[in-house]
Copies of this chain bind each other. A is one copy, B any other.
Amino acid sequence: MSEIGIGIIGGGYMGKAHAVAHAAVGAVFQTALRPRLEMVAASSPASAERYRDAFGFARAAGSWEELVDDPRVEAVIIASPPETHLAITRRAADLGKPVFCEKPLGASISDAAAMTETVEAAGVPNMIGFNYIRTPASQYARRLVAEGAIGDVTWFRGEHTEDFYADPEAPASWRTSGEANGCMGDLAPHMINAALALMGPVASVMAEIETVHTMRGSDPVTNDDQAQIMCRFVNGAMGHLFFSRVATGRKMGYIYEITGTKGAIRFNQEDQNSLWLYKAEGPEADRGFRQILIGPAHPDYEPFCLGPGHGTGYQDQIIIEARDFLESVAEGRSRWPTFRDGLAVSRIVSAARTSHENRSWAHVAGD
């Protein structure tokens, strides 16, 4: 067991989540590398200092550059806005430091591509922050599909819906402009990643993207509120994706339904400790979707609790993510999902935008 100095850029929503995760992960998973909260950077030295104190970092950085350059920072976690992701990645890669980056990979598809190239060229371990797919339930769903438990998949429906902008009276903010801050930029990536993880690559998409509330007060909204995508997976299955930040009543609607020839799976992140499985076997009279309460029999649950049904939560996903990143660093090679996996998501977002503009099906670029 040896220590590794962690530097986190950003101390907001996700900066804090990663700080907590690295504080806890060693005790939870007994990782080979034990993280040390070495340094935090933020938009100003003063806020970095506040985060240092709040989350228990050893030091605060004057700037993200200072953090990246610091010799005691051995791995970099990017939890700052998308516009900053590329530059930070470049500097870290130059120094050969492993990088973990929050989604979306960059502020644009070109940023995402550049970031991927950078880390691959530098050969540094890299990972993208798709945390929802790491719940024990979703990990198990992936395994079930991969093992053929539901047969050949014939339909996938996914959505990521929340309602934080459902109120038309809610004022404009930084969220209401900027491609990366809209629904397609901000919410879509998690579920697109899930679709890829569960179903494999997407061949083509047909999308409709829209701004439902075009004005907020006297300010125009210049990015999208919701979007839907019909898609065709490379495996031949048809699918549908829906994303919305104006979905009144939905709080964490990361939902998927997967239908196969021998069964089906349903999941809703709002009840993240249940996975619903239907198996077309046994007497007809006894068939039904079963609510599997997640427990030690499912991936990555047991370190959190020995009792089934006792449940994991949002923060625990980030702890699992931290474990994955530390293992990747310890092994010296990237683990799924890498920047390239983030880029695959960005490509679908990009194809959806093209489709929407042309009002026609769009091919999704491959590697």
Contact = CB atoms under 8 A, between A and B. Distances in A.
A19 B27 contact: yes
A361 interface: yes
Interface residues of A, number: 97
B359 A157 contact: no
A154 B249 contact: no
B226 A155 contact: yes
A367 interface: no
A232 to B, nearest CB: 8
Which among A34, A53, A167, A259 has the highest number of chain B CB atoms within 10 Å?
A259
Nearest to A283: B297
Interface stretch (A103-111, A193-201, A237-245): A237-245
Interface string A156-197: 010000111011100000000000000000000000000000
Contacts of A312: 313-315
Contact of A251 (B20, B206, B308): B308
A262 B167 CA distance: 7
Contact of A20 (B24, B230, B278, B288): B24
Interface in A2-56: 13, 16-17, 19-20, 23-24, 26-28, 30, 34, 37, 53-56
A336 interface: no
Contacts of A13: 306
Nearest to A231: B208
Given A259-B248, A310-B313, A292 B286 contact: yes
Interface string A195-229: 00000000000101010100000000000001010
Nearest to A275: B288
B270 A270 contact: no
A286 to B, nearest CB: 6
A260 interface: yes
B304 A314 contact: yes
Contacts of A56: 26-27, 34
Given A27-B55, A27-B56, A249-B259, A155 B293 contact: no
Classify the interface of chain A: helix, strand, loop or mixed. Answer: mixed
A335 to B, nearest CB: 22
Given A26-B23, A247-B155, A162 B289 contact: no
Contacts of A164: 307
Interface string A86-110: 0000000000000000000000000
A1 interface: yes
29 contacts: A20-B28, A23-B23, A26-B55, A27-B37, A151-B248, A155-B244, A157-B242, A162-B307, A167-B261, A167-B280, A206-B230, A208-B230, A246-B259, A248-B261, A248-B280, A249-B288, A251-B307, A252-B293, A269-B310, A270-B311, A271-B271, A274-B288, A284-B295, A285-B298, A288-B293, A289-B290, A291-B291, A304-B314, A313-B315
**Nearest 8 CB-CB pairings of A with B:** A251-B309, A313-B313, A249-B278, A252-B309, A290-B290, A288-B290, A285-B297, A312-B313
